[in-house]
Structure 1
Amino acid sequence: MKAVAHTVIRDIDDPRYLEDLTLEPPTLGAHDLRVRVEAVAVNPIDLKVHGRRPASAEAPVILGFDAAGVVESVGAAVARFGVGDPVFYAGSVARSGCNAELHCVDERLVGPKPTTLDFADSAALALTGLTAWELLFDLMALDDDAHSPAGPVLVLGGAGGVASMAVQLLAAFTDRTVIATASQPDSAEHARALGAHHVIDYRQDYRDQLAAAGIDDVAAIFSTHTTAFAWENFARVIRPFGRIGFIDDPAPLDVSLLKARSVALYGEGMFNRSVFATDDMIRQHEILTRIARGIDGGRLNATTGQHFGTINAANLRAAHRHVAAGHARGKAVLSGFG
């Protein structure tokens, strides 16, 4: 099968950063679907794995986690999908990636592809959708008014991939006021189009800007970029017994700032269910199914940004560089192996 992998860890500016290879197809496990990959999306985790996972000519590392494709074969224990089913998923960081013509993934991590989207737009949804849903609803329980504090939610990075999904999910599945952050007019307009009621500049004082919008404080904060400046502002605008969730890997934070208001802190790791093989792995199948229904029902929209062409080493390196620049709006996607 065709695959894109690395055999040596190289700088992203090196043309040999990724290589086009021909490899043996993956072995099917009992709970696995073997998927013929039609499209993939690139995430920051791809770059992190490239920089830390040793590789060699004998053991090349295939990156990629977001994928959409068609089930080619199924394992003996598979009960939810059959050959020919179109699917989308984010897979597991502990297994070989999806930048290959054939990829094996546990069916409990897979959802039915939205019928109203093509494969590229579907591939862009899984990791961001799962990350946003798990933090908002599974951890902070912001869709459960009986078990979470009422009030507005602040979403940092309102135009980014995960934040774009967070804004949409809050707008579609809750009645909460949503405040997004942005620094540029086009990013602010994008966040409003996704469902944000207000947009503030993340570089300026949060409390002053919220007050100007008639908002005293927020019940929850969804953070994609937990900087020292942001953290100080969080402590000033979060209400007593509020909730703060983060998806990034921040520098050490002074959590004592939260104690005076009894604020709960949550860290989201989308791959934790698959890496630790938790008893509720099936939850990701359930979430992706809900997201697909939300797309097909017109409640959610695709978050695709730029399409980088067919799946090959040169195009994937270009997509990685785009993501590494840190200013991408929406997801970088590629489709087909040419």
Structure 2
Amino acid sequence: MNEMPHDTMRAVAYRESLPVENGNSLVDVELPVPQPGPHDLLVRIEAVAVNPVDYKVRRNSDPGGRPKVLGWDAAGTVVAVGDQVELFAVGDEVYYAGAIDRPGTNAQYHVVEESIVGPKPASLSFTDSAALPLTSLTAWEGLFERLGLREGEAGRETGTLLVTAAAGGVGAMVAQLARALTDLTVIGTASRPETAEFARRMGVTHIVDHHSPLPQQVAEVAPGGLDHVFSTAGTDRNLAAYADMLVPFGGIVAIDDFGPVEIGLLKSKSISFHWELMFTRSLHRTPDRARQHHILTRIAGLVDRGALTTTATTDLGTITAANLREAHRILESGSAIGKITLTGF
């Protein structure tokens, strides 16, 4: 039975692209409760996490005065389902990263297609669960689909992996998945004692400073070179270094935004280059988008077995415009470690 909420809900939105210091960059609003389509879940949001994509959309996509709700990471409880839903029922606790072309999760209620939703880890709170979906999907798809690494039952991968910004949300999940499911040696970039310590806790074996030339530092801990690079930041300025450090037939997967680069640098070693965007499946409605349901289910199982842990580090309180502005400010400053969460309304 569907548990339908009231007609309106509280949410946080923006109406124009403004600097985060402006009090109108994010505002508290009242909006109609969305209605689920045939394959959708209506979820009561219990907690959300904030990602760089949130502030990038806020800064670069002006909604022309209409309230646009941001937010993709969420954990909550299913309160209604579409008439063709098969994977979930009312009362189920779920977590997911949503779709970039639909309204976001910074609202009391949210509609999401069931195929990209997973069952919330039973051992974690809603808050700790909300920190995981977007970064887990990005890390999993980047490692095991884009780079094609073997994991677990498929035979554990060996070799050396470099992950940049290893204390960030994605970097921390890359390190954890590599530790749990492969035999890779993970080298991570970090520049502060606190980020280096967090990265080591997540599974990084060796730390290098991204403010210093990478090839010399990497050569000291991996004299045979790198097999793989998971580039979460600085791909354009580091591409020549990656080409230098990677062995022939190595691979790079990148998730950051940048302009033209000299891809010819990779030719002599036949190095492959891959993009990873976890929204691709939902944005283009690919036939295999239910893979994300299965990945999130696998992640939840690994968490409940103790093989993975949440990357939540800072909870800023309830889901309000003021608290979300602070979350955006921290992320824009580049000082975040792990994931920032907000809990309840």
Which of 171, 184, 201 is the aligned partner of 2:192?
Answer: 184
1:28 and 1:43 map into 2 onto residues whose CA distance is: 25
Evaluate the alpha carbon distance shift between residue 221 and residue 148 of structure 1 in structure 2; reply closer, same or farther with a 3 A threshold. farther
Structure 2 CA distance for aligned equivalents of residues 162 and 69 of structure 1: 22
Which residue in the other structure is 1:113 paired with? 120
| 1:39 equivalent among 47, 53, 61 | 47
% identical aligned pairs: 47
Please identify, of 10-19 and 263-272, the stretch whose mean Cα deviation from structure 2 is larger.
10-19
Q: Which is worse superposed, 154-163 or 229-238?
A: 229-238
Q: CA deviation at 1:149?
A: 8.4
Q: Please state whether the residue corresponding to 1:324 is helix, strand or coil.
A: helix
Q: Give the TM-score, by structure 1 length.
A: 0.95
Distance change (3 Å), C-alpha of 1:9 and 1:211 = closer
Hey, what does 1:93 align to over in structure 2?
Answer: 100
**CA drift at 1:147:** 11
> 2:47 touches 2:76 (CA, 8 Å); kept in 1?
yes
Structure 1 residue 250 and structure 2 residue 258: aligned? yes
CA distance in 2, matches of 1:16, 1:252: 34
Query: What letter corresponds to residue 226 of structure 1 in structure 2?
Result: G
SS of the residue corresponding to residue 274 of structure 1 reads helix
Cα offset for 1:332? Answer: 1.0
1:335 equivalent to 2:325? Answer no
| 2:73 matches 1:66 | yes
SS of residue matched to 1:323? helix
Q: Report if aligned partners of 1:129, 1:162 keep a CA contact under 8 Å in 2.
A: yes
Residue 224 of structure 2 is aligned to residue 216 of structure 1: yes
Q: Structure 2 vs 1, CA of residues 217 and 26 (structure 1 numbering), >3 Å: closer, same or farther?
A: same
CA contact (8 A) 1:36 1:69 kept: yes
SS at 2:41 equivalent: strand
Correspondent of 1:52 among 46, 60, 64: 60
Return the letter of the residue paired with 1:273.
R
- CA distance, structure 1, for counterparts of residue 32 and residue 222 of structure 2: 60
Shift in alpha-carbon separation, 1:282–1:209, aligned structure 2, 3 A: same
When residues 25 and 140 of structure 1 are mapped into structure 2, their CA distance, relative to the original with a 3 A threshold, is same
1:79 maps onto 2:86 in alignment: yes
The equivalent residue for 1:136 is 143
- In structure 2, what is the Cα distance between the partners aligned to 1:106 and 1:47? 24
The answer as to whether partners of 2:227 and 2:250 remain within 8 angstroms in 1 is yes
2: CA distance between counterparts of 1:175 and 1:148? 6
Provide the residue aligned with 2:240 in structure 1: 232
Q: Which residue of 2 aligns with 1:166?
A: 174
Q: Could you tell me which residue of structure 1 aligns to residue 3 of structure 2?
A: none
Aligned to 2:24: 16
Tell me the SS of whatever aligns to 2:229.
Answer: strand
What does the per-residue CA deviation read over 1:65-107, in whole Å, with 9 as the maximum and x for residues that have no partner? 1110000000011101000000000000000011110100000
State the partner residue of 2:132. 125
Superposed CA deviations along residues 125-159 of structure 1, whole A, max 9, x for unmatched, are 01011111111111111226989985211111111
Contact between 2:50 and 2:71, CA under 8 Å: does it hold in 1?
Answer: yes
Larger mean CA deviation between 250-259 and 36-45 belongs to: 250-259
Q: 2:269 aligns with which of 258, 261, 272?
A: 261
Shift of 1:165: 0.3
The list of structure 1 runs, each at least 4 consecutive aligned residues, that deviate by more than 6 angstroms after superposition, is 145-149
Other-structure match for 2:5: none
Q: What is aligned with 2:4?
A: none
Farther off after superposition, 275-284 or 150-159: 150-159
**CA distance in 1 between partners of 2:314 and 2:109 (Å):** 24
Alignment gaps of 5+ in structure 2? 1-8
Query: SS of the counterpart of 1:166?
Result: helix
Number of aligned positions between the proteins: 336
Superimposed CA distance per residue, residues 158-194 of structure 1 (whole angstroms, 9 cap, x where no aligned partner): 1111000000001101111111111122222221111
What's the TM-score, normalizing by structure 2?
Answer: 0.93
Mapped partners of 2:255, 2:208: distance in 1: 20
Paired residue type of 2:326? A
Please name the residue that 2:328 is paired with.
320
Pairwise CA distance, 1:214: 4.7
